[in-house]
Chain A
Amino acid sequence: MNSKSEPQGASLNPELDLSAKIGSLTMPNCVGVASGTFGYGEEYDDLVKIDTLGALYTKAVTLEPREGNPPPRLIETPLGLINSIGLANPGVERFVKEYLPFLAHRRCAVIINVAGSLEKDYVMVIDYIEDHIGPEKSVDAYEINVSCPNVHKGGMAFGIDPFVVEKLTLELKKHTNRPLILKLSPNVTDIAEIALAAENGGADAISCINTVVGMVIDTENVRPAIAMGTGGLSGPAIRPIGVAATYKVSRAVSIPVIGIGGITSAQDAIQYLLAGAQAIQVGTALFSNPLAPRCILEGIAEWMNRHNVQRVNDIGGMLA
């Protein structure tokens, strides 16, 4: 209902350290909302207390406005969702003017997801934001999307080549002092190799994973179920892929890993934390339950109490 109701009870044990550190940034807790599933925050304002989130990763921002792909853009699959939105967004100029003010002075970390077709697009988006944000806290980090499967040029094309990822990261580091998180695609032969390239380029963290390329065909109408044919699969269907990628990447790099993919419950989140993630993102689960992030955080705290662990940061070391 349209009220800012949050689950009561299960109050968080103040002795637990639920925070997550990404470079110079400390997120108040380890549960964030994934890019593309939470808009620019305002859309969920009636339903979710944004300040209780650990981090808000915005819908991707590109240099120019993008209208996105033709509909249908969505199809549900068994415990999954395929989307092909096509990075629809108002462009960086309107984003800064119309959407960013809502995100200023937030208790949660505000992380701008940046996408582009060419290296200079990413550079120009970051330059524009750096030039136009005031001294007040409104942007805590950037998440660099080199993994969108739904745009013809760029996006994933960046994310499949370690050399390109390293070069892009190196270049972007020159344009901001804020932490850079590289969001990687699972649609590669070896995601650890790409993660290592990002680390070599100076990335502060890895978001792992973006959606998995998938397709549904409508057998009665004899055509793909979404207009673009293929799209990005998310939801519990991809969780084991995300956990495995997190496990591999966190062993290949020394920077923090942020686990994403099908997290619906605290148990799902803890799998990622045990696999080596320092923080997690909730995405598709928001569509069925907008209060999922809070429930997941409380469940993580409850699990930590039961397993006698004080810091989220220590969970990764517990895996047998």
Chain B
Amino acid sequence: MHLAFEWPDSLESPRAGQFFTMMPSVIETGAGMLLRRPLAFAGFEKRSLEVSESTQKNKSLAHTIYQIRGIGTKALATHSPGSSIDIIGPLGNAFPEPSPGEIAIIVGGGIGIGPMLFLASMFSEHSFPFKLIVGFRNSSSIPLRSAAPREFSPFLWNDLLKDALIATDDGSEGIKGTVIDALVRVESTLLGSNRWHIYSCGPNPMLAEIARFASERGAAAHVSAEQYMACGVGACQGCVIRAAAGGYYRVCADGPVFAANTIDWTGNLA
């Protein structure tokens, strides 16, 4: 599913990697939902000051994509266009820019492609060299194609996906295999004289594989980690992930973006 909402210009503009928490205004009676739901930004369109008030581009728009998984996302999906939702954001940190001489390898898995499309759109605007690799279970689980109405296909999402290397578990689209298989496939052609800087978002086991792949090749890697959250602002210490140096990081406040080698992935696969 795709959600676009108006973003007040008085607030800091969201960056790729950051998230917001939302509380749907319509919740099914008896659903018993208590916590806000964190969702990653999948894009941001800054209001263009040059265009006139009458055009459609007179408001900044934030975008996210999500899967209907539980009561929170189910409730969110029932909101009609123009209705209000309660949002806190932008929260957390953002992906760093690549260093000179690096090529960005942007790897998204499943619904984790949201922030990766956002990052690719930002890098595209800044003319940083990048390659987008996305992995899904099968061709029908590729979001946006079915979810995004045509009037909402911003940020070159479709163009970005068209140029992306796609991997599916069953081979129903792109190459058969995981994003790691795709990385290995393109390694020889893409490496050239550029150093890789891998950026990734997806399920934690995939991020663990990304971390291993990057460390074996001495490549820089930043990943956006996932964890069950309560407060979203660093107070409750609920959403932690095991740090490689011992102890824990709070995903909401210390992350969600981490250098892949600072996480102890063996402790975070549950």
Whether the Cβ atoms of A74 and B239 lie closer than 8 Å is: yes
Give CA–CA (A83, B235) in the complex, Å: 13
Residue of B nearest to A264 (CB): B34
Whether the Cβ atoms of B253 and A78 lie closer than 8 Å is: no
Whether the Cβ atoms of A288 and B35 lie closer than 8 Å is: yes
> B10 an interface residue at 8 Å Cβ cutoff?
yes
Give CA–CA (A29, B237) in the complex, Å: 27
Whether the Cβ atoms of B231 and A43 lie closer than 8 Å is: yes
Whether the Cβ atoms of B236 and A36 lie closer than 8 Å is: yes
B contacts with A: majority SS: loop
Q: Which residues of chain A from 252 to 288 have a CB within 8 Å of any chain B CB?
A: 284, 286-288
Whether the Cβ atoms of A79 and B34 lie closer than 8 Å is: yes
Query: In the complex, which residues of chain B have a beta carbon less than 8 angstroms from the beta carbon of A81?
Result: 34-35, 230
Whether the Cβ atoms of A47 and B236 lie closer than 8 Å is: no
> B160 an interface residue at 8 Å Cβ cutoff?
no
Query: In the complex, which residues of chain A have a beta carbon less than 8 angstroms from the beta carbon of B268?
Result: 71
Whether the Cβ atoms of B230 and A83 lie closer than 8 Å is: yes
> A76 an interface residue at 8 Å Cβ cutoff?
yes
Whether the Cβ atoms of A75 and B228 lie closer than 8 Å is: yes
Whether the Cβ atoms of B237 and A37 lie closer than 8 Å is: no
Nearest Cβ on chain B to A145's Cβ, whole angstroms: 15
Q: Contacts A1-B88, A37-B235, A287-B231 given; indicate if A71 touches B36 (C-beta within 8 A).
A: no
Give CA–CA (A58, B32) in the complex, Å: 28
Query: In the complex, which residues of chain B have a beta carbon less than 8 angstroms from the beta carbon of A235?
Result: 34
Q: Contacts A37-B236, A39-B236, A44-B233 given; indicate if A71 touches B23 (C-beta within 8 A).
A: no
Whether the Cβ atoms of B34 and A287 lie closer than 8 Å is: yes
> A11 an interface residue at 8 Å Cβ cutoff?
no
Give CA–CA (A38, B237) in the complex, Å: 10
Q: Contacts A71-B248, A79-B32, A287-B34 given; indicate if A37 touches B231 (C-beta within 8 A).
A: yes
Residue of A nearest to B91 (CB): A2
Query: In the complex, which residues of chain A have a beta carbon less than 8 angstroms from the beta carbon of B10?
Result: 3
Tally of A interface residues using CB under 8 Å = 38
Number of residue pairs A-B, CB distance < 8 angstroms: 108
Residue of B nearest to A72 (CB): B228
> B270 an interface residue at 8 Å Cβ cutoff?
yes
Query: In the complex, which residues of chain A have a beta carbon less than 8 angstroms from the beta carbon of B230?
Result: 74, 81, 83, 284, 287
Which residue of B89, B233, B270 contacts A71 across the interface (Cβ within 8 Å)?
B270
Nearest Cβ on chain A to B249's Cβ, whole angstroms: 10
Whether the Cβ atoms of B32 and A78 lie closer than 8 Å is: yes
Whether the Cβ atoms of A288 and B88 lie closer than 8 Å is: no
> B240 an interface residue at 8 Å Cβ cutoff?
yes
Whether the Cβ atoms of A67 and B12 lie closer than 8 Å is: no
Which residue of A2, A47, A288 contacts B34 across the interface (Cβ within 8 Å)?
A288
Q: Please encode chain B, from 238 to 259, with 1 for each CB lying within 8 Å of some chain A CB and 0 for all others.
A: 1111100011100001000000
Give CA–CA (A67, B245) in the complex, Å: 12
Query: In the complex, which residues of chain B have a beta carbon less than 8 angstroms from the beta carbon of A83?
Result: 230, 236, 238
Whether the Cβ atoms of A287 and B36 lie closer than 8 Å is: yes
Whether the Cβ atoms of B88 and A72 lie closer than 8 Å is: no
Q: Which 9 interchain pairs have the tightest Cβ spacing?
A: A78-B32, A39-B235, A43-B235, A74-B238, A43-B234, A67-B247, A79-B32, A88-B237, A287-B230
Partner-B contacts on A (CB < 8 A): 1-3, 36-39, 43-44, 46-47, 59, 67-68, 70-81, 83, 85, 88, 227, 235-236, 284, 286-290
A76-B35, A81-B230 are known; give 7 further A-B pairs, CB within 8 A: A1-B88, A2-B88, A46-B233, A73-B239, A74-B238, A80-B34, A289-B23
10 A-B residue pairings within 8 Å (CB atoms)? A2-B90, A43-B234, A70-B242, A71-B242, A74-B239, A81-B230, A83-B238, A88-B237, A88-B240, A288-B35
Partner-A contacts on B (CB < 8 A): 8, 10-12, 23, 32-36, 86-90, 227-242, 246-248, 253, 267-268, 270
